[in-house]
Every structure is written in structure tokens, then in C-alpha cells.
């Protein structure tokens, strides 16, 4: 759910001429997270990126690359000018638009591509991504770098499609990293959190375009949560690639309490030999638009069947969101206890502009990227390597700051309550609280990642407060005076 859909980068950057001088302001998609830099830089090509970083390294300038701002937290914000004595730059790589089809079913693309435009470009060549998220509004490198994913117990996140990339470190040194010459490093760079340098291009696996059948089925809700979630767990045994949109709760303004809706829905996808009209794009219910709680079947090219283009995203309102990953074997216990914990927060929600709360469930195959929320490094022999993914969205009746901040505080509480209990990992870009001890527990390769980070960024030019605190990068806390 995005406010500006296909809006291009210049519209995200507001140039303010204030009394204290010019500054560039960047905001995320719902404008509740932003930062102010001294300058906005958009290099014309890769050589310009190298030259820029080479010149800024002796100055130890602060550098933050921005894409389309599709995030809920502070992962991608710059450090505000004036907080330190360093110059702060916002950098766009929107001009890097290389597109090359390779013979080994891969494509090499520049960092300037948005997922939506790249999907359409691939369609021209009868190609599509192996895996996509539910939306296509992100920049391609931003989506990969933060762990964007779809759903499927045999499907991994988008970053696992990366077989090579080119990155420029803080000194302005350009390096190619690929699965043949430096495969272990590639595990660090796939989900890099923007902390390892400026990625100028990526090479990704693709596949021939094929069709999927999408089936949506209405399900009955109950406040017997054990029964409800056991039925969903059984449904996941039947369907590999499935998203459950629910249960839904509505805010009763008189009772000041949540009331569960009687029905919700699930969608699942499967290959098909269908040759008729492709029609999934006519129904954007995967993103909560329109009359969604109904049975229907549609057929479409894989990208259009599993994800919505910008025009299919129908809400621009403030809302808080968490998304946690946990071993699939714990699905029922996690779902029951997260729901009960949320309900226990209700007394503190009275007096705010609440409208709706939506639970969403997906599944994802684990992978070996160092900082993937679905990394398999600390799983035990009892685990299959498949993760359940639980998302909770707190919606509002109006864009009220107090309600947003109140709900965001509730969102932060879930990791403290359940992180250690369920080996739960938070999506990096969705209300992930600062907890370096827990981060080390669920990301066992964090020390190796930080060694790469220090090599790539010795002066902490790519690190912001969130990264320093979340990953426990003490040298950067000191360098940035945090």
C-alpha cells in the first residue's frame, strides 16, 4: 500500500529554501520518516559514482542511497545535516539504466531500475523473475538489499536470484562479486542493508514467462484462535504457494475494542496450461482493494498473478506494520500467541483513530544470505528450513500522527516478547527494534558481515543511527557520535 505508486525520485525530494540555507529533504512513502541532507547527488553513470566516492572519502562525508522509500523504519534514512560535522549527501542511482540479457538465463541491470519498469522490460523479451514480492513499487536494488520476498515453501526471497553484482566502496574502488569467484562474499552482499557500498548493477536469474492460476477462497473466522490457526496450518500443507489475508479486526468506537470480522480470505498459486484471457490484473484484492472477501479464480503471467503494479495499490493512509519470520513448525503457537498479545495491547489503544487491524501469513524457503531474515544458520535438525511469515498491519481512519506513533510503539513490543522464544526475525524495513544481542542470535553470520562492512566502509560513511544501533557497530557509534 503506497501513496505515490509509480512516482519518480525527484518528486520524493523536496528542496526547501529556509532561512538557514538550502537543504534536501527525503521522505519515505507515507512521509512519517524523513531526513535532511546538505546535497542531493545523481551521478550520470558508474564512472561518476566512482569519482564521487573517491572525492568524498578523504572528507568522510555521510552518504545514503535512496530508492523509492518503500519502508516503515529508519533503515534507509540519511543522517541529518548538523547532527555531526560531516557533510551529508543523499544519492540517487536513477540514471544507471543498463539492461543486458545474458545467455545463461540471467539479466544484468543497472541500479536505476524500478521493479515495475523492469518487469515490463522483461515481458518484452518473454522473461520474468523467478520470485517477486507482493508489490512492484520498489527500486530493484532496494528490494534486494532489504530482503523483499513473496510466498512459497519452495520459494526464496528476491535476493537469492542475484548471481553477481558490482559495488563501489567508500574509497571509490569498484569491485565485481559473483557466485564463481567470491561466492562467500556474495552471501554478505545480497542483503546488504545499504551498509556495504553503492551497488551500481546486479545480475539476476530469470525464467521464461509462464502462466499461473490464482485461486482465492473465503474462510471463516473464529476467536478460538487455536482452531483457527490449526486450520490455516493444514491449508499450508495442501498449498505450497499461499498467502492468507486475515483474520481481520475492526475497531468498535463505542466499545473501544477490536471486533473480529466473520470471514477473511486466502489466495494460492499453481502452474497452469490455461490459454484464455489473462485477468489477474483486473482484481487487486491481493492488496486489499475493492471487494476482496469473495471466491474467485484468475489466470495471468507470473508477475501479474503474484504482485500488483503501482496502480493496484489503493491506500495512502498512515499505518504501522511488523513482519516476523519464524520456523514454520511453530506456525500455530506463533499465530495464537501473537494474536493474544496484540489483543492484550487493546486497552492502550483507546482514544486513538483506529480503523482496522489485519493479520497476514505467508511462507518462505530459507536461504544462506548472511543478513536474510529467513537465514538458516541457527536452525536445528528439527526444522525443515521453511519459515512462516506473520505480518500485522494497524490501519487508521485518518492520517493522525499520535495514532501512528502509538501503534508503532506496539509494533516494537513483539520482538522483545517473542524473538528469543520463537527464533523470530524482524523484516529489516518494517518496524524492527534496536536489539543487537537478538540480532547476533538470529543472524549468526553478523560478525562476518561486519568484517566486510568495516573493509568496505572504514569511516562509517554508509552507516546511519539505525544500522549502528541495530547491528551493534560500536566503532560507528563512536565515529558518528551517537
Per-residue pLDDT, 310: 65
pLDDT score of 374:
97
pLDDT in tens, 415-425: 999 999 999 99
pLDDT at 287: 52
For 72-89, how does the pLDDT look when each residue is reduced to its tens digit (9 = 90+)?
A: 778 888 888 888 889 999
41 has pLDDT over 60: yes
Domains of the chain: 99-209 (3.30.465.10), 211-435 (3.30.70.2520)
Q: Per-residue b/e over 219-239, b at no fewer than 16 CB within 10 Å?
A: bebeeebeebbeebbebbeeb
Give residue 52's pLDDT band: very low, low, confident or very high (50, 70, 90): very high
Mean pLDDT of 386-397: 95
Whether residue 13 is predicted with pLDDT greater than 50 in this model: the reply is: no
- In the structure grid, which three cell numbers stand for residue 34, read together? 524523513
Least confident of 164-178, 205-219, 304-318, 418-432: 304-318
342/226 Cα distance (integer angstroms):
15
How confident is the model at residue 318, as a pLDDT?
Answer: 85
Calculate the alpha carbon distances from 447 to 218, 425, 437, 439, 443 in Å: 45, 17, 12, 11, 9
Whether the predicted pLDDT of 337 surpasses 90: yes
pLDDT attached to residue 290? 62
CA geometry: angle at 410 spanning 409 and 411, to 5°? 90
Query: pLDDT for 309-324, tens place per residue?
Result: 666 556 667 889 999 9
- 3-class DSSP state for residue 239? coil
CB atoms within 10 A of CB 464: 25
In angstroms, rounded to a whole number, what is the distance separating the alpha carbons of residues 147 and 137?
A: 15
> What percentage of the chain exceeds 70 in pLDDT?
92
The Cα 45–Cα 114 span in angstroms is: 17
Pairing of strands 88-91, 62-65: parallel
DSSP assignments along 257-312, one per residue = EEEE-SEEEEEEEEE----S---GGG--GGGT-SS-SS-EEEEEEHHHHH-B-GGG
Residue 117 has pLDDT above 70, yes or no: yes
Cell of 312: 493496484
- Confidence at residue 83, expressed as pLDDT on a 0 to 100 scale: 84
Is residue 293 pLDDT above 90, yes or no? no
Band (pLDDT 50/70/90 cuts) for residue 288 is low
CB within 8 Å of 124: residues ≥ 6 apart? none
Query: Looking at 275-404, which runs of residues are DSSP E strands?
Result: 296-301, 319-327, 354-365, 386-396
Average pLDDT for the chain: 90
- Phi–psi pair at 33, nearest 5 degrees: -125, 130
What confidence category does residue 33 fall into, taking pLDDT thresholds of 50, 70 and 90? confident
What pLDDT score was predicted for residue 480?
84
Is the previous residue joined to 247 through a cis bond, with omega within 30 degrees of 0? Answer: yes
Amino acid at each position: 500500500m503506497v501513496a505515490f505508486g509509480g512516482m519518480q525520485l525527484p518528486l520524493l525530494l523536496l528542496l526547501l529554501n529556509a532561512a538557514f540555507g538550502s537543504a534536501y529533504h527525503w521522505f519515505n512513502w507515507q512521509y512519517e520518516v524523513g531526513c535532511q541532507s546538505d546535497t542531493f547527488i545523481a551521478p550520470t553513470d558508474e564512472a561518476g559514482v566512482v569519482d564521487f566516492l573517491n572525492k568524498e572519502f578523504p572528507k568522510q562525508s555521510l552518504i545514503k542511497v535512496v530508492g523509492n522509500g518503500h519502508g516503515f523504519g529508519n533503515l534507509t534514512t540519511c543522517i541529518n545535516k548538523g547532527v555531526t560535522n560531516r557533510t551529508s549527501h543523499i544519492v540517487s542511482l536513477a540514471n544507471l539504466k543498463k539492461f543486458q540479457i545474458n545467455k545463461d538465463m540471467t539479466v544484468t541491470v543497472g541500479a536505476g531500475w524500478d521493479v515495475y519498469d523492469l518487469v515490463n522490460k522483461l515481458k518484452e523479451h518473454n522473461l520474468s523473475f523467478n520470485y517477486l514480492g507482493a508489490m512492484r513499487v520498489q527500486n530493484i536494488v532496494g528490494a534486494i538489499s532489504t530482503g523483499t520476498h513473496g510466498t512459497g515453501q519452495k520459494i526464496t526471497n528476491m535476493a537469492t536470484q542475484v548471481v553477481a553484482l558490482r559495488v563501489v566502496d567508500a574509497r571509490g574502488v569498484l569491485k565485481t562479486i559473483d557466485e564463481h569467484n567470491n561466492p562467500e562474499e556474495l552471501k554478505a552482499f545480497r542483503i546488504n542493508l545499504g551498509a556495504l557500498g553503492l551497488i551500481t548493477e546486479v545480475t539476476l536469474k530469470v525464467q521464461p514467462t509462464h502462466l499461473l492460476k490464482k485461486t482465492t477462497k473465503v474462510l471463516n473466522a473464529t476467536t478460538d484462535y487455536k482452531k483457527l490457526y490449526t486450520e490455516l496450518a493444514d491449508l499450508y500443507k495442501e498449498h505450497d504457494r499461499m498467502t492468507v489475508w486475515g483474520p481481520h479486526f475492526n475497531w468498535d468506537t463505542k466499545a473501544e475494542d477490536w471486533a473480529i470480522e466473520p470471514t477473511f480470505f486466502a489466495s494460492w498459486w499453481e502452474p497452469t496450461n490455461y490459454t484464455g484471457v489473462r485477468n489477474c490484473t483486473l482484481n487487486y484484492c491481493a492488496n486489499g482493494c475493492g471487494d476482496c472477501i469473495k471466491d474467485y479464480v484468475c489466470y495471468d503471467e507470473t508477475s501479474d498473478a503474484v504482485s500488483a503494479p503501482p496502480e493496484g495499490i489503493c491506500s495512502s493512509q498512515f499505518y504501522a506494520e511488523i513482519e516476523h519470520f519464524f520456523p514454520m513448525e511453530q506456525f500455530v503457537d506463533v499465530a495464537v500467541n501473537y494474536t493474544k498479545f496484540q489483543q492484550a495491547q487493546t486497552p492502550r489503544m483507546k482514544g486513538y483513530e483506529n480503523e482496522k487491524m489485519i493479520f497476514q501469513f505467508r511462507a518462505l524457503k530459507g536461504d544462506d544470505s548472511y543478513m536474510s531474515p529467513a537465514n538458516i544458520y541457527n536452525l536445528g535438525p528439527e526444522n525443515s528450513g521453511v519459515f512462516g511469515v506473520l505480518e500485522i498491519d494497524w490501519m487508521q481512519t485518518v492520517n493522525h500522527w499520535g495514532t501512528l506513533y502509538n501503534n508503532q510503539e506496539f509494533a516494537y513490543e513483539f520482538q522483545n516478547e517473542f524473538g528469543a522464544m520463537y527464533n523470530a526475525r524482524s523484516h529489516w524495513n518494517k518496524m524492527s527494534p534496536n536489539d543487537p544481542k537478538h540480532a547476533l542470535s538470529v543472524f549468526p553470520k553478523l560478525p562476518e558481515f561486519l568484517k566486510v562492512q568495516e573493509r568496505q566502509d572504514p569511516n562509517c560513511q554508509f552507516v546511519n543511527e539505525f544500522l549502528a544501533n541495530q547491528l551493534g557497530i560500536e566503532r560507528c557509534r563512536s565515529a558518528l557520535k551517537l
